[in-house]
Amino acid sequence: MKPPSLSFFITIIVAALSVAAFASGPAAPVIGTVDLAALLVFHPAMAAYDPFNHAFLKNKTTMQPQEINRLNQKTDKQITDLQEKIKPLQGRMNELRSRFDEDQRKTQGEHDKILPGLSGGRAFQENNKFSMKMNALSVKFTSQIRALQVQIDQLQASIQENLSGGPASRYTSADETQQRFADLYAEIQRITQQAASAKGISVVFDSGFSPPGGSTAASREPDLPSNFEYGEMLGMSLPQGLDRDSGAVQGFFELQRSRAEAWYRNRCSILSPFSERIQTSFVVTGGIDLTAEVMAAVLTKYRIDSKLQNAVLQAVHHGK
């Protein structure tokens, strides 16, 4: 006999909750739903998340575009400076190789000229002398090359550290990244619980963590024009003097909404590094959708402009 299916248990749970609600009179429904993926990707802390490098910027919650550009330029300059330091070292290595080859040829030529006129003990001495000279040249060359290579290796390690998010870079480590996400996830849970309690809802289900594409979408690299698309969106303000031009204002927030839609479309790949931490639950129909309410509460807590909040909510609505 097959064990009861998951849908069977869901049916029993929902039925039990419905009976309880009916027995207690015409109270508010006890079941609520949220789009967990939307709440997570649009948490303001995700403005500092780089989905291409799977890490957060250190000590940043939200990023202004100029700050992002400044950090990128600073990193690029550091890498360029390191590369410029490598070039003369590589040039010096090439010079040493050329000189070593020249010294070997010269020593070999002198030996070849002298040896034919020698015999016996003198020839033996000359061969020993030649071997010692060649060995000395080799030892000197090897030690010089090794010293230069050590310097180059150190500089290349510094470059890699800047590129890969090492300890001295601008990115959080793998453990720090998971912890920062755990913190924002816990905050989403707390605010969801508060919103549910305010409406008399005792159970909240996740209705949206499986976006179109499923595991395939999660394995793809995000299709985004910037490493910090959401951060740039939150950090971009309406240009001064443009607020009196209704058409320009509308165009500005249409642009923001399109950026939010792109971020939301990529939610599966953005959240894939945290899939083990995210506790997916049953997907049900009906009930009270708390997504907009929780989203507004989170964004308001971080003082996100109401029009930007509206752009985010529209992006989630259109993306479903």
Confidence band of 12 (pLDDT split at 50, 70, 90):
very low
Over residues 197-217, mean pLDDT = 69
Tokens of 157: 């390690």
- CA dist., res. 302 & res. 186, Å (int): 16
pLDDT at 22: 43
Domain match, 235 and 104 both: no
166: DSSP letter: -
Segment among 87-96, 134-143, 214-223 with least mean pLDDT = 214-223
Largest CA distance in the chain: 121
- Whether residue 149 is contained in a domain is answered as yes
pLDDT at 43: 94
Over residues 39-64, mean pLDDT = 82
- Whether residue 91 is contained in a domain is answered as yes
- Whether residue 1 is contained in a domain is answered as no
pLDDT at 5: 38
Beta strand segments in the chain, E: 31-34, 49-50, 55-56, 203-206, 288-289
- Whether residue 71 is contained in a domain is answered as no
Reply yes or no on whether the pLDDT at 211 is more than 50.
Answer: no
Domain match, 304 and 269 both: yes
pLDDT at 188: 92
Reply yes or no on whether the pLDDT at 61 is more than 60.
Answer: no
For residue 116, count other CB atoms closer than 10 A to its CB. Answer: 8
- Whether residue 304 is contained in a domain is answered as yes
The pLDDT tens digits of the residues spanning 107-152 come to 899 888 888 888 878 888 888 888 898 899 899 999 999 999 999 9
Q: What is the DSSP string of 255-300?
A: HHHHHHHHHHHTHHHHHGGGTTTS------SSSEE-HHHHHHHHHH
CA distances, 302 to each of 42, 62, 306 (Å): 12, 10, 11
Domain match, 88 and 152 both: yes
Domain match, 35 and 104 both: no
- Give me the number of domains the chain comprises: 2
Query: What are the phi and psi torsion angles at 156 (to 5°)?
Result: -65, -35
Q: What is the mean pLDDT of the chain?
A: 79
Domain match, 122 and 86 both: yes
CA distances, 171 to each of 51, 87, 185, 295 (Å): 12, 27, 20, 26
More confident residue, 311 or 25: 311
pLDDT at 101: 93
- Whether residue 67 is contained in a domain is answered as no
Segment among 40-44, 93-97, 121-125, 154-158 with least mean pLDDT = 121-125
Domain match, 182 and 285 both: yes
Domain match, 304 and 188 both: yes
The pLDDT tens digits of the residues spanning 289-309 come to 888 999 999 999 988 888 888
- CA dist., res. 121 & res. 129, Å (int): 12
Domain match, 133 and 201 both: no
- Whether residue 122 is contained in a domain is answered as yes
Core vs surface per residue 298-311: b (16+ CB within 10 A) or e? bbeeeebeeebbbb
Q: For residue 118, what are the domain limits?
A: 77-164
Domain match, 149 and 191 both: no
Confidence band of 59 (pLDDT split at 50, 70, 90):
low
Amino acid making up residue 118: L
Reply yes or no on whether the pLDDT at 2 is more than 60.
Answer: no
Reply yes or no on whether the pLDDT at 30 is more than 60.
Answer: yes
- CA dist., res. 254 & res. 310, Å (int): 11
- CA dist., res. 79 & res. 85, Å (int): 10
Tokens of 209: 């963590």
The residues near 14 (Cβ < 8 Å, ≥ 6 apart) are: 31, 284
CA distances, 177 to each of 32, 92, 274 (Å): 30, 42, 9
pLDDT at 9: 34
Domain match, 140 and 282 both: no
The pLDDT tens digits of the residues spanning 247-288 come to 777 888 888 889 899 999 999 999 999 988 886 555 555 568
Confidence band of 31 (pLDDT split at 50, 70, 90):
confident
Domain match, 177 and 36 both: yes
